[in-house]
Amino acid sequence: MASVLNLDEVDLEGRTVLVRVDINSPLDPISNVFLDDTRIKRIIPTLNKLSKSKVVLLAHQSRPGKKDFTSTLGHSRELGRLLGRTVKWVDDIYGKRAITAIESLEDGEILMLNNVRMDEEENTIKGDFTSMANAQMVQNLSMIADAFVNDAFACAHRSSPSIVGFTNTLPCIAGELMNYELSKLGKALDEPSRPCIAVLGGVKVDDSVTVADNMLRKGICDHVWVTGGVANLFLFISGVDIGEVNVDFLQKETGKSWDNTVMTAKKLLIDFPECIIMPSDVALHIEDNRVDEPLKNLPLNAPIFDIGITSIQSLSKGIKSAGTIILNGPAGVFEMSDFALGTIEILNACAEGNGYAVMGGGHTATLVSQRGLSDKMGHVSTGGGACLDLLAGRILPGVASLEESAKQFRFSITKPLDHQ
């Protein structure tokens, strides 16, 4: 998919290496104790590859204004606990204290800088790679580092100094997690086993319509099965009266992109009428109960919270006969047990089938993990927004940065062939 440098191609022994990671984690609102350390665990393979380097970690936690916007001190301690050794920390990002701490590192040691989003430029600078390189963080850290490793796939759709600012100042290399994500997603998008189907749900309807448009027009998938809010939109524009309450919800969630989303969806139905598969029945929330109804019985003055039983059976069969399944977004309001059925059965079908199933990040990935199905899927992405943008055919700034840097620095940093 992407032509980037990876850690197997370079020799960073004894070098000072900046490593951008995404260890943004859910914290207990009172104690700030980690509720889930999955993201911290996922960076360990990269750190193992850099065991003979001086490693400097750049990371963030939440964003300014949020209750869980904290320093990275706790993250350094949690990482140290997982590694079984000390991870140093400094209450600075690129000032004198940070520079001194970096210069004092020995080979094999790890230093974590403070939350990069505590730096105003990280949150405010806009523009291309050159503009990002003007950030003081990039200027200062580039002077004392030999290479930059980007292992923050979940932030690859962001354009900020700590993600793309080092493009032209240091050799930029994909970390193990970044490389793994690009490889696994590339398998589904570049050379999918047929038939390839996309199952798109959730309430981010505008993004899902863009994904469907990209995948059908590029011939990536053969069929798009729509569920959740995405199904409600396609049913609405195909002439099904889904009820005012459901139309109002879609318009509210989609906001300013409503008109463009509807226009794109209408064009898809015109251009690919046989490729978009909508539910034949839905589950409504009526008096605190699940009520399944065929489309012919609509509208009813009730919100649609899931696809119906018949549709679930049809979709499960379609998934089990597919060679590649790209799944993003739940089929319904899975937080309510009565309306989790569609989502659960879709995940079960992916796990039971023989196809290569790729799960988008966000809620989908969380549900897969909670149900203990991760090992039965082809790939469960760690990046919600980044994965969605990739599926939609959008350029990921973090990946574009790695590609551009590889063009400049490949021959100056790669190992000789006889050492690879």
Asked if the structure places residue 361 within a domain, the reply is no
CA distances from 405 to 125, 134, 164, 182 (A): 20, 16, 10, 17
Interatomic CA distance for residues 201 and 296, integer angstroms: 22
Interatomic CA distance for residues 158 and 198, integer angstroms: 25
Interatomic CA distance for residues 25 and 314, integer angstroms: 37
Same domain, 150 and 271: no
CB neighbours of residue 29 within 10 Å: 10
From 320, 354, 388, the end of a domain falls on 354
Asked if the structure places residue 154 within a domain, the reply is yes
3-class DSSP state of 378: coil
Asked if the structure places residue 388 within a domain, the reply is no
Q: Radius of gyration (Cα) for the chain, nearest Å? A: 23
User: Could you state, in chain order, the average pLDDT of each consecutive group of 10 residues for the chain (420 residues)?
Assistant: 88 97 91 87 97 98 94 97 97 98 98 98 94 97 98 96 98 97 94 97 95 97 98 97 97 96 98 98 96 95 97 98 96 94 96 95 80 92 90 96 94 60
List the one residue out of 92, 122, 57, 148 whose CA is nearest residue 402.
148
Range of the domain at 76: 7-179+396-419
Q: Which amino acid is at 178?
A: M
Same domain, 42 and 149: yes
Same domain, 147 and 201: no
Cite the DSSP H helix spans in 50-116. Answer: 73-83, 96-103
Q: Are 196 and 67 in contact (CB under 8 A)?
A: no
Q: DSSP state, 65?
A: T
Asked if the structure places residue 370 within a domain, the reply is no
List the one residue out of 97, 21, 103, 104 whose CA is nearest residue 57.
21
Asked if the structure places residue 384 within a domain, the reply is no
pLDDT at 1: 55
Q: Which amino acid is at 14?
A: G
Instruction: Tell me the CATH number at 413.
Output: 3.40.50.1260
Interatomic CA distance for residues 221 and 67, integer angstroms: 41
Q: Which residues on neighbouring strands pair with residue 285, listed in sequence order?
A: 290
| Tally of structural domains, the chain | 2
Asked if the structure places residue 363 within a domain, the reply is no
From 304, 320, 354, the end of a domain falls on 354
Same domain, 349 and 200: yes
Same domain, 90 and 236: no
CB neighbours of residue 73 within 10 Å: 16
pLDDT tens digits, 29-64? 888 888 888 899 999 999 999 999 999 999 999 999
pLDDT at 365: 81
Stated as kind and residue range, the H or E segment containing 293 is strand 289-294
Q: Are 191 and 183 in contact (CB under 8 A)?
A: no
pLDDT at 417: 45
List the one residue out of 310, 311, 305 whose CA is nearest residue 291.
305
Name every residue whose Cβ is closer than 8 Å to that of residue 177 and which is 6 or more positions away in sequence.
42, 43, 45, 46, 151, 153, 382
pLDDT at 36: 83
Question: Cα angle vertex 207, ends 201, 213, to 5°?
Answer: 90
Interatomic CA distance for residues 310 and 172, integer angstroms: 50
Same domain, 16 and 124: yes
Reading phi first (left if > 0) and then psi (alpha if -120 to 50, else beta), residue 317 is in: alpha
How many helices (H) and strands (E) the chain has is answered by: 18, 15
Interatomic CA distance for residues 172 and 314, integer angstroms: 46
Interatomic CA distance for residues 206 and 208, integer angstroms: 6
Q: Are 391 and 328 in contact (CB under 8 A)?
A: yes
Stated as kind and residue range, the H or E segment containing 390 is helix 384-391
